[in-house]
Chains A and B, each alone.
Chain A
């Protein structure tokens, strides 16, 4: 690849040692994932009328891609992948709490929203986006 020549120029005292190839490979992977994420994000912007399930699917894909990025940064750049297994476990196992943490709190936020909409319908009218199409201004139930 073309960055090998660049590196041999940089490390002029040493021959390109093992490991830098891995670093640059990780860089290209991270850059590639970011470009795909931006592409998906732009897709959602370019087609605002996509069905909800497709939007959710795209967002889910972006989240999974971000987790992949996190994995590469932590295991290659931060060298956690090269540590002994017990060390890895003391870091990763406490982070498992996030699974519960995220699930529980987002559930709670959603519950708050649905409950408020049910018992205070004025909230729905006040905070929902007005429909863009098929506007009927002759009948306005809000007033």
Chain B
């Protein structure tokens, strides 16, 4: 039955991804993933496209291998081996979730300059807005917009370029002083991106993350049952195999999420 559940789940994910593809095909402009996902923890503002998501992919493939090894040990009725590899699988799952939590936080709290009407605004990526639109190359447009930009946004922009100044110090300055500090060529101002981008990203990666978390819970239950010798008494480790199927499916879905959001 697990197979048929997974098949129905595949249709759910498929429908999500195809819906994303349809909207993407209906837009003239779509954000370039290399410009959206280019950060790495503790690397500051270094431009590292694809690096972090490669790490996440590696973690998930690795945890798939430890899961299949746990199933393998189960075939041989080796309780110690099952417990050991299941524990590593859980570690992998938690590591993946931690990475995703960091990525979401980074995207939501990001501060990116966008051209909003005739002023500049600073936003992160949410389900309704995102700063990944076409780049504004017209320097005069940016300079003009800077004149209409409210004080608090100027403070954020100045802080982005002068980390040595504290926020309190910058807030005390007047607008002209702040404008003098901001190098408009380095703001990398963009227009607001397609509205659908954030919604699809959070919905699909979130739904996948939810699958990973429930997979981790299932694996923890399996670990406890194996540890207490439930399967040993039963004489077979079929349950581990079923949990393994679910876990590999989660990895399988990630192959396509990775493909659709980060690679192409």
Q: Is the Cβ of A110 less than 8 Å from the Cβ of B26?
A: yes
CA gap between A72 and B29 in the complex, in Å: 34
Task: Determine the residue in chain A with the shortest Cβ distance to B34.
Answer: A45
B252 to A, closest residue via Cβ = A73
Which residues of chain B (221-264) have a CB below 8 Å from chain A?
Answer: 244-245, 248-249, 251-252, 255-256, 258-259, 262-264
A50 at the interface (CB under 8 A from B): no
Bound together, the chains give a CA A10 to CA B69 distance in angstroms of: 10
Q: Is B24 an interface residue (CB 8 A)?
A: yes
Inter-subunit contact B27/A14 (CB<8 Å): no
Chain A interfacial positions (CB closer than 8 Å to B):
10-11, 13-14, 17, 19-20, 23-24, 27, 30-31, 34, 37-38, 40-42, 44-45, 59, 62-63, 66, 69-70, 73-74, 76-78, 80, 87, 91, 94-95, 97-98, 101-102, 105-106, 108-110, 112-113, 116-117, 123-124, 127-130, 132, 135, 137
Question: Which 10 A-B pairs rank lowest in CB-CB distance, beginning with the nearest?
Answer: A109-B25, A109-B22, A127-B28, A45-B34, A129-B134, A109-B26, A112-B26, A105-B22, A66-B259, A59-B264
Give bound CA distance, A138 to B23, whole Å: 35
Instruction: Evaluate whether A45 and B49 lie within 8 angstroms (CB atoms) in the complex, with A31-B58, A113-B28, A129-B134 already known.
Output: yes
Contact B54 A73 (CB under 8 A): no
> Is there an interface contact between B255 and A69, defined as CB atoms closer than 8 Å?
yes
Q: A23-B65, A62-B264, A105-B21 are in contact. Are A13 and B78 (CB under 8 A)?
A: yes
Q: Is B81's beta carbon under 8 Å from chain A?
A: yes
Q: Are A23 and B68 in contact (CB under 8 A)?
A: yes
Complexed CA–CA distance, A137 and B136 (Å): 13
Judge whether B98 is part of the interface by a CB distance below 8 angstroms. Answer: no
Q: Is B135 interfacial (CB-CB < 8 Å)?
A: yes
B23 touches A109 (CB 8 A): yes
Main secondary structure of the interface of A (DSSP, over half): helix
Q: Establish whether residues A41 and B26, one from each chain, have CB atoms under 8 Å apart when the complex forms.
A: no
CB distance from B54 to the nearest CB of A (A): 6
For the complex, give the distance between the alpha carbons of A135 and B141 in Å. 13
| Residue in A11, A59, A132 whose Cβ sees the most chain B Cβ within 10 Å | A11
Residue of A with least CB distance to B194: A127
Contacts of A127 in B (CB 8 A): 27-29, 134, 194
Cβ of B22 to closest chain A Cβ, rounded Å: 4
* Cβ–Cβ contact A124 & B28, under 8 A: yes
- Listed residue (A37, A62, A63, A113) with the most chain B CB atoms within 10 angstroms of its CB: A37
From A14, A41, A123, residue with most partner B Cβ within 10 Å? A41
